[in-house]
């Protein structure tokens, strides 16, 4: 057995390492993960040469972030090595290993509990804090996201990334003033803080500050270098949302082609970003040409994933919108998986994902009455499948579109109420103004249809 020695990461957390030469690559993971930089994956170079408990646990973490049906199986050999080495690990390291094992087992509630305990006892273990936030995000536990960040903040207020984590937690809890203050503090400490940029983009979109949000994101985009594919494509995705709302359709479409789709086409987050943006283009009346074909060709591998309901729903819509028969396979597989899902997420699969999946398939195929019924039953509980407010807005837009396309007096009245409330909150949105005008005209309110 190697003689382990204690080192420390950049945040002062003791590390049990067999080889001091491994420390730089461990640091690449720790700092890369917290800063959403691509260098985090450099750690995998140690996978076969360093049996240190955290090296192996961090390798397992990277494999699980693939968010594919093979991810857990690929992570398990590393978890076995981490567990075998855990006798020489610190209590902090053993708790982290246990949290990753719970994740691999699908016991997300236990994983969150372990990360919360870690945040209380070792608040500068920022990898654990950020990973706990990821799980809370995926289960709709917005207060949990905020609790984790606030637990770390007193001991780690010198780290810009903690303020960015707090900013997104505040925003998802609808605490906009606190979210903006935290994001701006993070950016003031480190201009290259893409997670804080992302949090502030959420605030500005929610508050209808569309021109300001676009200018802000474009103004910091020069710092989006060296990031992982999710972070860079997702921040450009937010830029595209501002462009769509402001009626700058050609720029938004060009941005999709240049910055959003094509970084890592096989990665889950890049795929759902592309699906959701193409759907939004169409909902805004923008012709996407043959772009669904390319995206859907990369979704064919996803029909049996069932890692997260939020992901499956967007895979399904992309396949169905492209006319792929594999959409039916995925829908059947979702229906079969839901009652067998891990207990901590089963309710979300059964009572939210299944009706939402049926509604999305119906919408993609023009069955708007079924889309209204199925999506309507899922929307009140949509938070349970995770995702951000801005991301889940896609499902609400599709429901609204189905109301308008059905075209009865009752559905148009429902659409009018939704659209006008949204427009009240986003008066700069040319998309909403146009859609509201069309509905008003169909309701015989031509005076409102032409209102500036």
Q: Are 344 and 106 in contact, with CB atoms under 8 Å apart? A: yes
pLDDT tens column, 237-275: 999 999 999 999 999 999 999 999 989 999 999 999 999
The predicted pLDDT at position 448 comes to 86
Residue 324, pLDDT > 60, answer yes
| Residue 428, SS3 per DSSP | coil
pLDDT tens column, 95-108: 999 999 999 999 99
pLDDT tens column, 14-61: 999 999 999 999 999 999 999 999 999 999 999 999 999 999 999 999
Mean pLDDT of 419-447: 94
Mean pLDDT of 316-343: 98
The predicted pLDDT at position 4 comes to 62
Q: Is the pTM of this model over 0.85?
A: yes
Residue 63, pLDDT > 80, answer yes
Distance CA(201)–CA(76), nearest Å, equals: 37
Q: Whole-number mean pLDDT of the chain? A: 96
Mean pLDDT of 181-209: 98
Radius of gyration of the chain from Cα atoms?
22
Residue 8, pLDDT > 90, answer yes
Residue 450, pLDDT > 80, answer no
Distance CA(159)–CA(148), nearest Å, equals: 15
Mean pLDDT of 358-368: 98
The predicted pLDDT at position 452 comes to 63
Q: Are 17 and 4 in contact, with CB atoms under 8 Å apart? A: yes
The predicted pLDDT at position 350 comes to 98
The predicted pLDDT at position 131 comes to 98
High-pLDDT (> 70) share of the chain, %: 98
Residue 2, pLDDT > 60, answer no
CA–CA distances in Å: residue 128 to residues 77, 98, 162, 387: 21, 11, 12, 20
Residue 449, pLDDT > 90, answer no
Residue 6, pLDDT > 90, answer no
């Amino acid at each position: 057995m190697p003689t382990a020695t204690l080192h420390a990461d950049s945040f002062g957390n003791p590390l049990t390492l067999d080889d001091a030469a491994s420390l730089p690559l461990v640091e690449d993971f720790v700092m890369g993960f917290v800063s959403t930089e691509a260098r985090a994956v450099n750690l995998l170079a140690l996978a076969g040469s360093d049996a240190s408990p955290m090296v192996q646990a961090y390798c397992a973490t990277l494999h699980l972030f693939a968010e594919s049906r093979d991810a857990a199986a690929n992570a398990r050999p590393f978890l076995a090595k981490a567990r075998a080495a855990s006798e020489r690990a610190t209590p902090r390291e053993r708790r982290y290993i246990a949290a990753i094992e719970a994740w691999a087992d699908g016991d997300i509630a236990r994983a969150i509990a372990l990360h919360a305990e870690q945040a209380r006892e070792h608040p500068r273990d920022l990898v654990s804090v950020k990973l706990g936030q990821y799980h809370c995000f995926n289960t709709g536990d917005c207060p949990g996201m905020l609790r984790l960040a606030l637990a770390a903040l007193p001991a780690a207020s010198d780290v810009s990334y903690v303020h960015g984590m707090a900013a997104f937690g505040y925003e998802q809890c609808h605490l906009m003033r606190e979210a903006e203050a935290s994001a701006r503090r993070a950016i003031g400490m480190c201009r290259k803080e893409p997670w804080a940029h992302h949090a502030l983009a959420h605030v500005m979109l929610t508050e209808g500050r569309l021109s300001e949000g676009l200018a802000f994101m474009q103004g910091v985009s020069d710092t989006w270098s060296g990031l992982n594919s999710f972070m860079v494509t997702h921040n450009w995705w937010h830029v595209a949302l501002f462009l769509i709302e402001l009626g700058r359709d050609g720029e938004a479409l060009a941005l999709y082609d240049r910055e959003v789709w094509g970084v890592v086409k096989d990665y889950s987050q890049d795929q759902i970003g592309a699906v959701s943006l193409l759907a939004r283009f169409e909902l805004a009346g923008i012709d996407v040409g043959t772009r669904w074909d390319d995206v859907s060709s990369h979704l064919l591998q996803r029909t049996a994933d069932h890692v997260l309901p939020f992901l499956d729903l967007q895979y399904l819509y992309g396949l169905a919108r492209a006319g792929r028969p594999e959409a039916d396979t995925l829908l059947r597989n979702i229906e079969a998986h839901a009652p067998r899902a891990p207990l901590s997420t089963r309710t979300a699969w059964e009572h939210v994902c299944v009706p939402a999946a049926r509604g999305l398939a119906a919408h993609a195929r023009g069955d708007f009455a079924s889309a209204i019924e199925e999506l309507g039953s899922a929307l009140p509980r949509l938070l349970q499948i995770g995702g951000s407010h801005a991301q889940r807005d896609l499902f609400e837009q599709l429901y609204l579109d189905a109301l308008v396309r059905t075209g009865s007096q009752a559905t148009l009245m429902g659409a009018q109420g939704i659209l006008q409330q949204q427009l009240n909150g986003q008066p700069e949105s040319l998309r909403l103004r146009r859609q509201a005008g069309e509905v008003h005209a169909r309701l015989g309110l031509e005076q409102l249809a032409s209102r500036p």
